[in-house]
Amino acid sequence: FFPSLQNLRKEKSRNAARSRRGKENFEFFELAKMLPLPGAITSQLDKASIIRLTISYLHMRHFASQGDPPWSPLLEGEDNCNNVRRTSHSLVTDIFEQHLGAHLLQSLDGFVFVVSQEGRFLYISETVSIYLGLSQVELTGSSVFDYIHPADHVEMAERLGIRPHLRAEAGCQTSHESASNSASTSSLAGTPEPVPSCPCSPVSELSERGFFIRMKSTLTKRGLHVKSSGYKVIHVTGRIRCRPALVPGSSRPLHRPMGLVALAHTLPPSMLNEVRMESHMFVFRVNMDLQVTYCENR
pLDDT of residue 39: 82
List the helix and strand counts (H, then E) for the chain.
10, 8
Name the pairing type of β-strands 284-286 and 292-295: antiparallel
Residue type, 249: G
> Percentage of the chain with pLDDT > 70?
69
Q: Hey, what long-range contacts does 9-18 have (CB within 8 A, 24 or more apart)?
A: none
Output the pTM of the full model.
0.65
End-to-end CA distance of the chain: 89
Q: What is the DSSP string of 184-197?
A: HHHHHHT-PPPPPP
Please state, in angstroms and rounded to a whole number, the distance separating the CA atoms of residues 178 and 2: 68
- How do the pLDDT tens digits run along the chain, 298 residues long? 567 778 888 888 888 888 999 999 899 889 888 888 888 888 888 899 999 999 999 998 888 888 777 776 444 444 444 444 445 555 555 555 556 666 676 667 889 999 998 899 999 988 898 888 889 999 999 999 999 999 999 999 888 888 777 778 777 777 544 444 444 443 333 333 333 344 444 443 468 889 999 999 887 655 444 445 588 899 999 989 888 777 677 667 677 888 899 999 888 765 555 567 777 888 888 988 889 988 888 7
Decide if 266 contacts 234 (C-beta within 8 A).
yes
The number of beta carbons lying within 10 Å of the beta carbon of residue 174 is 14
pLDDT of residue 94: 58
CATH 1.10.10.10 fits 35-295, yes or no: no
Is residue 147 exposed (0-12), middle (13-18) or buried (19+ Cβ within 10 Å)? buried
What angle is formed at CA 226 by the lines to CA 221 and CA 231, rounded to 5 degrees? 55
Burial 35-67 (b: 16+ CB within 10 A, else e): bebeeebbeebeeebbebbbebbebbeebbeeb
Please state, in angstroms and rounded to a whole number, the distance separating the CA atoms of residues 46 and 117: 27
